[in-house]
Structure 1
Amino acid sequence: MNYEEVMKLALERGFYFPSCEVYADAQAGFWEYGPSGVGLKNKFLELWRRELIRRDGMLEIDGSQIMSKSVFEASGHLGNFADPIIKCTKCDSTFRADRTIAEIAQIEIPESADLDEFDNAILQNNIKCPKCKGDFDKTRKFNMMFRVGIGPQDDEAYLRPETCQSIFVDFPRLFKTMRGKLPFGIAQVGKSFRNEIAPRQSLLRLREFYQAEIEVFCNPSKLEEVENFSEIENTVIRVQTDADPVSMTCKEAVESGVIPNKFVAYYLGILTEFYEKTGIDITKSRFRKLGDKEKAFYAEVAFDFEVETTIGWLELVACNYRSDYDLSSHAVKSKEKFEVMDNDEKVLPHVFEISMGIDRSLYTILEHSLKDDKEHERVVLSLKPYLAPVHVGILSLVKKDGLKEKTDEIYLQIKRKCDAFLDHSGAIGRRYRRLDEIGAPFAVTVDHQTLEDESVTIRKRDSMEQSRVKILELDSIISESIAFP
């Protein structure tokens, strides 16, 4: 299924929709999750916590969304966090330089390239404004930070453009109070804010978006000493450097030098295992190594985890080896100490980052899970049962003859044990189709036989198989099927 079909599903079934859509002055790049989207997002994050955070005993924090100017001076965002933009001299429209050049002239220039490269490409290829065919002014940088004023004095602060900076500035306290030991993982889920020039395609480029970030603090002299590497050494990952993606085990990737060390390979391995459990087609994924002009200003080595969709390859996770860039920068700016003891050695830790875009991940899960079942003339969202926003629909065949009351009774028994949906209205086939479209793995129908023998019909979403089971068996059948792997 393609982007337009996913968008139609999202709007009609309460997954996500534009913010403030009833007003004409609503700004682009702001979207809201409906009940189905919140259910999917919450279950996705619970799987993330199970597969990544709890696996290695990481800590999770919840930091402030507004942070002081000093934080972003130290991090380099005030000086470096910018996109190249071009402005039409005729109609004053503004565009991303790299994207405009790519769309019109099919020339790929990294966004971090020198400004002269963009100007030369525009001149040599006679690129004009897409709106009015006017000429462009010189390329300039546009900082994407959202500034906020605090208090009556309008003290300067900023909405965070990424969730990781509070992890870095909190590191000394957390390492001390939580009796830390390297490697030491800290995670955070929350919203970040970027003043994107041209937000587009719903969840794929937003000005307000969710991130799930992990920062693993490590001793740079022990990157080959990974205690749990044997757990993932045979996990197959797809890595792309210069040629097409190549499938190899994590062990082979390290031995061949494609991945620099066991430490990085370990986290790429568990990330791959996580996304496989979300239902994304891993054969359509790749870890793409970024060149010097592509990677972020703070990254020493960077791999983007990307997944192929109908609108191209989407970056879902940035995997950056940030060395000691962040801790040393904050140490200099704050004049505080960030070194810690690793056994008897005093170390300024290096950091490996797994920065996950939640919104893009959810879109990709929806696209990879949405099926057009032409044989049965239905659209079905074949989500993993543990990610489904609704686990089971509880349906009465008709509302008379005591069936409504019996259906309500069963719903009351089940609704606190799983996510259940009660539905009395409409043809039973139409109700099945609605449940199929929101990904509910089961539908339970109460009919006249239920009143005779305490049995119901349970229908499976993907196979459409139906069988009679006792009401007393429903809890165990559903619980076993929706349990996390």
Structure 2
Amino acid sequence: MNYESVMKLALERAFYFPSCEVYGDAQAGFWEYGPTGVSVKNKFLELWRRELVRRDRMLEIDGSQIMSKSVFEASGHLGNFADPIIKCKKCGLTFRADKLISEIANVEIPESADLEDFDKMIQEKNIVCTKCKGEFESAKKFNMMFRVGIGPEDEEAYLRPETCQSIFVDFPRLFKTMRGKLPLGIAQVGKSFRNEIAPRQSLLRLREFYQAEIEVFCNPGKLNELDKFSEIENTTLRIQISDDIQVMTCKEAVEKGVIPNKFVAYYLGLLTEFYKKTGIDMEKSRFRKLGEKEKAFYADVAFDFEVNTTIGWLELVACNYRSDYDLSSHAKKSKEKFEVMDNDEKVLPHVFEISMGIDRSLYTILEHSLKEDKENERMVLSIKPYLAPTHVGVLSLVKKDGLSEKTDEIYRLIRTKFDSFLDHSGAIGRRYRRLDEIGAPFAITVDHQTKEDNTVTIRRRDDMAQERVNISELESILAKETAYP
């Protein structure tokens, strides 16, 4: 399915929709999750916790969304967290320079390139304002931080542009109180805020968005001393090398020098195993190593996990080896100590980051799962059962003859254990198709035979197969079919 089909589903079935859409002055780049979207998001995060956080015995925190100016002075965001913009001399319209050049001239320039590179390309390609055909002023940097004033004195603070900074400033306390031992992963889920110049395409570029970030603190002298590497050494990675995607195991990638060490390869392997279980088509995925001008200002080595969609390759996860950039910066600014003991060695840890965009991941899952079944004239969201917003629909064949009451009874039996939807109205075929479209893997139908032998029909979404089961079996069947892997 394409982007337009996913948007239609999202709006009509309450997955997500624009914020404040009833008002004409609503700003772009803010979207809200409806009930179906919230259900998928929560299940996605539970899978993330199972496959990454708990598997690797990480700690999870929940930090503040507003942080002091000092945090972002130390992190470098106040000085470096900026996008290139150009402003029309005639009408005053502002554009993000790298995106406009890509769209008009089909030339890719990294957003971190020198400002002169943007000016030169605009002149060479004769790029003008798309609204009035006017010329542009010289490119300049626009800081994307949202400033807030605290208290009556309007003390300067900022909405966080990434969730990881609270992990870094909290690290000394967490390591001490949780009896930490390197390597130590600390995770956080929450909202981040970036004043994007031109937010677009719903969940794909937002000003307020969800991240699931993991920062793994390690001893830089032991990056190839990792016993648990054996758990994923045979996991296959799809790695972009030059113009080709090469498939190799984690072990092969380290031996060939494609990935610098076992430590980085281990976490790329974990990430791959996680995304395999989301239902994303992994044949359309790749790890792309970023060049010097593409990397974030804090990264020594960076890989982006990207997935191909109908609107191009989307970056879902940024994987950055941040070395000691963050801890040393905060130690210098705060005058606090960030070194810890690793056995008998005192060390300032290095950090490997797995920064996941939740919204983009959910969009990609929807696009890769949405199918058109022309033969049966239906749209089917073939999402993994454990991620489905509704596990099961409970339907009465007709509302009369006591079937409605029996259906209500079955619904009450399972509603606290599974995400269930009760539906009495309309033709049964239309009700099945509504459930198919929101991804419900099962439908239970109560009919006249139910009153005779206490059995119901359970219908499967993907192949529409139906079987007769006893009501007493429903809980065990649904539990098995909707369990996380």
Q: How does the TM-score come out when normalised to structure 1?
A: 1.00
Deviations 1:244-269 (A, max 9, x none): 11111000100000000000000000
Residue 179 of structure 2: aligned partner: 179
Deviations 1:63-116 (A, max 9, x none): 000000000000000000000000001111000000111111111111000000
Give secondary structure in 1 for the equivalent of 2:332: helix
Once the 2 structures are TM-superposed, how far is the Cα of residue 463 of structure 1 from its aligned partner? 0.7
Residue 47 of structure 2: aligned partner: 47
Distance across 1 between alignment mates of 2:244 and 2:406: 58
Matches within 5 A, 1:57-456: 57-456=57-456
* Structure 2 segments unaligned to the other structure (5+ residues): none
Distance across 1 between alignment mates of 2:188 and 2:57: 14
Distance across 1 between alignment mates of 2:411 and 2:126: 65
Deviations 1:109-155 (A, max 9, x none): 11000000000001111110011110000000000000000000000
Residue 35 of structure 2: aligned partner: 35
Query: Match for 1:367: what amino acid?
Result: E
Deviations 1:127-184 (A, max 9, x none): 1001111000000000000000000000000000000000000000000000000001
Residue 24 of structure 1: aligned partner: 24
Give secondary structure in 1 for the equivalent of 2:55: helix
Query: Match for 1:265: what amino acid?
Result: A
Distance across 2 between alignment mates of 1:241 and 1:113: 22
Residue 470 of structure 2: aligned partner: 470
Give secondary structure in 2 for the equivalent of 1:469: strand
Distance across 2 between alignment mates of 1:386 and 1:370: 16
Query: Match for 1:130: what amino acid?
Result: T
Residue 11 of structure 2: aligned partner: 11
Q: How does the TM-score come out when normalised to structure 2?
A: 1.00
Give secondary structure in 1 for the equivalent of 2:181: coil
Distance across 1 between alignment mates of 2:241 and 2:94: 33
Once the 2 structures are TM-superposed, how far is the Cα of residue 370 of structure 1 from its aligned partner? 0.2
Distance across 2 between alignment mates of 1:244 and 1:206: 30
Distance across 2 between alignment mates of 1:453 and 1:304: 56
Distance across 1 between alignment mates of 2:208 and 2:116: 31
Deviations 1:218-240 (A, max 9, x none): 00000001121111111111001
Once the two structures are overlaid, the 10-residue window that deviates more, 224-233 or 327-336, is 224-233
Deviations 1:20-55 (A, max 9, x none): 000000000000000000000000000000000000
**Amino-acid identity (%):** 82
Dislocated runs of 4+, deviation >3 Å: none
Distance across 2 between alignment mates of 1:432 and 1:89: 57
Distance across 1 between alignment mates of 2:125 and 2:419: 56
Distance across 1 between alignment mates of 2:146 and 2:391: 39
Distance across 2 between alignment mates of 1:235 and 1:17: 37
Query: Match for 2:450: what amino acid?
Result: T
Give secondary structure in 2 for the equivalent of 1:432: helix
Give secondary structure in 1 for the equivalent of 2:247: strand
Distance across 2 between alignment mates of 1:360 and 1:426: 35
